Structure 1
Amino acid sequence: MPKATGGVVYFFTRTSVPKKSVALYVLCLAFLVCANFASASSILLATSEVSPFSDSKDVSKGYVNEIVVKAFEELGESLNVEHYPHARALMLARQGAVDGVFPVHDYERFNDAFFISDAIPAGASGFLIRAKDLQGHSEIPDLVSWLKQQNLRGIGYLRGTIAPKFISNETFFNMFPGKSTVNLLDLLGRERIDVLFIDKYSAKEALVNERPSLIGEFIFIPGQEVESSFHLALSKQKPESSALIEKFNEALRKQKQSGHVTRTLEKYGVYKASDNEKALIVGAPDINAVFHAKAYLDEYDSPLSQLNIQWQIMDETVLRRRLLGDFSVNENRFDLVLIGNYGLPIWAKRDILVPFSTHPDNYDIKDIIPAALLANTVNGALYGLPFVAETTLTFYRTDLLDNLNLSLPTVLTYKDVKVLAKQIHRPEKEVYGVGLRTRVGWGQNMALVSTMANTYGASWLDEKMQPTLDSKAWFDAVSMYADLAKNYGPPDNKNMGWQENQKLFAEGKLAFFIDASSLGGALFDKGFSKVTQFTGVTYAPLGNQQKGAQWFWSWNFAVPKQSQYVDEAQSIAHFLTSKAFIDELKKARGEYAAPSGTRHSTYSSSYQQAVPYAAFEHQALKLLSSDDPSKSMIGSQFIPIPEFTAIGYAVGAQINDVVTGKQSVRKALERAQSHTQIILERAGYYAEKEK
């Protein structure tokens, strides 16, 4: 095992061990023990996949991971982390083969074997059942009695954890320890168990990412949450553990006092319940337009000044997962939410959203760009109001091209980008040819890869709902994407989102940046970018055809039916998407602060003069608008089905492995094809076709 020095964290993943490998496993275990004793300064901890708390692939992800790692960094302690299934992680820590284990729930404390740290907030666990079993039962004052009355005997829980004693002590119930959250969800779906005691966040994450076919099938029994916390557990077999847990607790207290714990939780979409029950909660992504809008409302009087609005702002990928996670178990935490044009029609069709049936007299709905209006219309009703919209543009450095006597062709292709990026790429000078999204996610790397595939002539599915990821068009598109990212992108770019690429471009370190048009405002803001005077803009590159080269994405205000303040939420949505608000925001914070892409009136002559990319964006958005879907130039960056979040993540992970050199393009697409087919089969699409 590598030795950790200087606070570096090494992490490995362990899964099940075949019987024929038991001897080797024992030898490896002995080696771990010896290595741990040989390096007293290196702490070895075991952890397990408990999304969003701990990530099995990257120790830097998961909020418990971040808090634990930061604490040891502040203590100056070197740390190794190994990943195991939860039960095995506990076993190794009990045996002293590792120094400790995290995250451990407070209800599974083993004080006889471990020193337990102070609490790290963990949200709540609950009792998940099939939605049909809860119909007609709104209040359940006595859970045990109700379960007995309904003859719900089979109780599932995660192996290695402990089910609540008020359940497990009852001989009426049959207890089923499951090896994973996904395994338990499958058992609940097949009616092999009746109730699942599980961490609520973990259940939602598993449904969204691994079992989308079960979305909407389950619900947590209301009013029966068990508040809990996570802990670090250090083995009592290690003589240094007693002193180490005290030092860890002190580092943890400092993180809590500084607000670091709260900020880390919020980054993962885990917000504390509002102290003010009357607060109207708005869920929003961490995009520039949201920050400008919130800053305006904080600084100036407006029609919303009398409302008690609590913004919960988080990474857009996290927001999507939290929204879908809540909807997956028929819950909702928000009164008003910014939702993308992927999710909006899905949830509107499921009767989760309230339509906007009327508008203020001065709202001027005809001013909204048709593509943005169409994205919010389902069966003739308007379920969302577009706040900000975008298409794809190419930002480039004019000075870097001029220095080498290079110029852009009239119609830019991805082959042209490669040729130009290759000549400009100077990593030794921190100047890189091109910045592309590589972070895994259907709205991250796959947003770009999907439109690249479209312009190379590919599509996600054929007319029979069969995936086409093993086609030549996909191969050509992914090969070009991987070539650009690997050979002409910044170093260590396996987890680059738009934020990281935008920052690099603003620092003068990228020659080309292919991404959302909405990012242009910051790139032409002299307070943000060092190279505004050398920034050029053109349309998205083409592959083999023009159709599909651009994506269309919009963030739209929508009101869930479970909102406590439907009328007030719709009033907020109308104001923040109105011409009046956009004009006031321009005056208060500058032309570039206006949320773009939704209204024709936004693109005034003064706006186009202040924002050089505006004319390109407006023209591109008008070209995307068509009443005839067959003539639309919008690239199909997603499949409009609930399962696409899991498909996009699975395919994105395979393509990310190409960028990092772990596998070939052909192997990645073969696996992506298989993953996609399995997800669609599990969801029943092919069975329905056969009927």
Structure 2
Amino acid sequence: MRTQSRRRPPRATLAAVAAGTLLAPLLSGCWVGAGGAGSGGDAVNVLMVNNPQMVALQKLTAAHFTKDTGIKVNFTVLPENDVRDKISQDFANQAGQYDVATLSNYEIPIYARNGWLKEMDPYVGEDPGYDEQDVLKPMRQSLTGDDGKLYGQPFYGESSFLMYRKDLLEREGLTMPANPTWKEVGEIAAKLDGAEPGMKGICLRGLPGWGEVMAPLTTVVNTFGGTWFDEDWNARLDSPEWLEATKFYVDLVREHGEAGAAQSGFAECLNNTTQGKTAMWYDATSAAGSLESANSPVKGKMGYAPAPVEKTESAGWLYTWAWGIQNASRNPDNAWRFVSWASGKEYEQLVGDEIGWSSVPAGKRASTYENPDYRAEAGAFQEMTRKAIEQARPDDPGVQPRPAPGIQFVGIPEFTDLGTQVSQEISAAIAGRQSVESALKKSQQLAEEISEEYEGR
């Protein structure tokens, strides 16, 4: 823990702190990199998260990519928290055990700054079939380093929006505004409580985690006029805007949200919505594919609206699971061939043909949204998803200048720890174990420690 009296360290020290923060969860372990083993021959070692889209990729690779190129791909697939830890150690040490890893638009600019990633512009320039300009502009920008160079390619992307049971709104004589405010959503949630036996008006994440409850809550804070830090790195979690936004969120989920909200994350809200336990859900646009899948009980019953706003024109977040190539990779050319295939148009067509168009890793290419097969199967949500991604403003998500990019996160290494600690305080307020005022007072103290590190930069 940093002390309040600590003087601001020089930039070289801050770089070390940044790397150390990314590695912090690993320091208690004894795992050591492969000592130069890396990938051998034509093989490529890929470390990736165990999301359904990646599992499908793993199943398709040998019969298609390896068959066509002769390049064997060795996959290591882990849950999100575990994969982040393993990636941070291997890439920070430049151990070279893995050539490619799944990284988000949070990590890629930080990793690029530390010299851990291979620049991708030369590969893109020599691979016209990849069609970099087809990648949606917000995705390209979010995977660009401080030097303006590309360091990642998206596998799939998402924003956030409001999902709601349009059949229930119609039955209850309610109308969802084309661009709803949070106050309007709160009023609708109250009226939909009990619309069906045991049904709650809305589902919102309450599970601790910088990528769980803090993701949707931070978008609410943004549009209510708040920010984690002002442009001079002053912590602002004790501002009236943070208090108003957090009280609104906590009160809404406590009064009209799902049972056990403090333990509910993306997966729990997906289950609740699919099973008809909640009438509305604000979360990732990627959830719509599951809600509209062939075996979903709510297929055809859902409506979709932009992320609710208050003081901003838009409020949706921006997130992508992307591919990064380790700078120490011994097979960077083959690594790029895998990345180019896995993020290319050809792969999307393959998934559409073999698995189904609702399973395509969308949210990254303009051509996807022009594909008639995809539009036919994803018609209920595809246009709203594309619009949400294109309107996302990672460099300007609120009403004031920010010192670091990010909509649902702050693009600094320390945010993983800060966001997680703050999320625990917020979740405790959702559980009724403390007041919102108490949660934010503690959170402000945590954020002020980060302010000390960055003031004057």
Given the alignment, which residue of 397, 405, 411 partners 2:179?
A: 411
Measured in 2, the distance between the counterparts of 1:417 and 1:226 equals 48
Match of 1:599, as an amino acid? R
TM-superposed deviation, 1:329: 5.8
Q: Secondary structure at the match of 2:140?
A: helix
Q: For the structure 1 residues 304 and 337, does the alpha-carbon distance in structure 2 shift closer, same or farther, using more than 3 Å as the test? A: farther
Residue in 1 that maps onto 2:414 = 643
Aligned equivalents of 1:644, 1:575: Cα separation in 2 = 32
Match of 1:542 among 297, 304, 309: 309
Any conservation in 1 of the 2:94–2:326 contact (CA below 8 Å)?
Answer: no
Aligned-partner SS, 1:432: coil
1:397 to 161, 165, 170: 165
Distance in 1, Cα, partners of 2:167 & 2:333: 52
Q: TM-score, normalised by structure 1?
A: 0.57
Deviation at 1:315, TM superposition (A): 2.9
**Is 2:138 aligned against 1:371?**
yes
Q: How many residues align?
A: 426
Q: Give the structure 2 partner of residue 289 of structure 1.
A: 53
Does 2:355 correspond to 1:589?
yes
Distance 1:620 1:308, change over 3 A: same
Q: Which residue of 2 aligns with 1:150?
A: none
Q: Which has the higher Rg, Structure 1 or Structure 2?
A: 1
Shift, 1:305, TM fit: 6.7
Which shows bigger deviation, 534-543 or 427-436? Answer: 427-436
How far is 1:342 from its partner? 0.8
Deviation at 1:301, TM superposition (A): 6.2
Aligned mates of 1:226, 1:338 — CA distance in 2: 20
More displaced 10-residue stretch of structure 1: 550-559 or 398-407: 398-407
Deviations 1:415-467 (A, max 9, x none): 22221212222399332221112221211111111111001011111122011
Structure 1's 294 and 213: CA in aligned 2 closer, same or farther, altered over 3 A? closer
Label 1:304 to 1:323 Cα distance change in 2 as closer, same or farther (>3 A): farther
Counterpart pick for 1:653 among 409, 413, 424? 424
Give the conservation status (yes or no) of the 8 Å contact 2:104–2:319.
Answer: yes
The one-letter code matched in structure 1 to 2:439 is A
How far apart in 2 are the matches of 1:316 and 1:567?
A: 27
- Aligned residue type for 1:532: K
The 5 A counterparts of 1:134-173 are none
Q: Which runs of 5+ in 2 are unaligned?
A: 3-8, 10-16, 400-404
- Deviations 1:269-323 (CA, angstroms, capped at 9, x unpaired): xxxxx99977633222232322332233356566567333232233334433443
Once residues 232 and 398 of structure 2 are traced to their aligned partners in structure 1, the CA distance between those partners, rounded to angstroms, is 22
In the alignment, which of 116, 119, 123 is matched to residue 358 of structure 1? 123
State whether residues 162 and 306 of structure 2, in contact with CA within 8 Å, keep that contact through their aligned partners in structure 1.
yes
Greater fraction of residues in strand: 1
Aligned equivalents of 1:510 and 1:482: distance in 2? 17
Gaps of 5+ in 1: 1-181, 184-189, 191-210, 228-273
Query: Equivalent residue for 1:667?
Result: 438
Structure 1 residue identity aligned to 2:128:
D
The answer to whether structure 1 residue 568 and structure 2 residue 334 are counterparts is yes
Give the share of equivalent positions with the same residue, in percent.
26
Q: Distance in 2 between matches of 1:213 and 1:679?
A: 15
1:212–1:646 CA contact under 8 A, matched in 2 = no
Matches within 5 A, 1:581-620: 581-604=347-370, 605-611=372-378, 612-620=380-388
Distance verdict in 2 for CA 1:456–1:398, change over 3 Å: same
Tell me which residue corresponds to 1:577: 343
Q: Does 1:387 align with 2:155?
A: yes
Give the deviation of 1:667 after TM superposition. Answer: 0.8
Q: Structure 1 counterpart of 2:168, which letter?
A: L
Structure number with the bigger relative contact order (C-alpha 8 A, sep ≥ 6) is: 2
Please name the residue that 1:3 is paired with: none
Mapped partners of 1:428, 1:361: distance in 2? 53
Q: Aligned with 2:128: secondary structure?
A: coil
Q: Which residue matches 2:273?
A: 505
TM-score normalised by length of structure 2 = 0.84
Q: Residue 236 of structure 2 aligns to a residue in which SS?
A: coil
Correspondence list, 1:434-445, <5 A: 434-445=202-213
- What residue in structure 2 maps to residue 557 of structure 1? 323
Which SS does the other structure have where 2:138 is aligned?
Answer: helix
The match for 1:345 among 109, 116, 120 is 109
Where does residue 45 of structure 1 map in the other structure?
none
> Aligned partners of 1:599 and 1:275: how far apart in 2?
32
Q: CA RMSD in A?
A: 3.2
Q: Judging changes above 3 Å, is the alpha-carbon distance between structure 1 residues 375 and 534 closer, same or farther for their aligned structure 2 residues?
A: same
Is residue 2:392 matched to residue 1:624? Answer: yes
- Name the residue aligned to 2:402: none
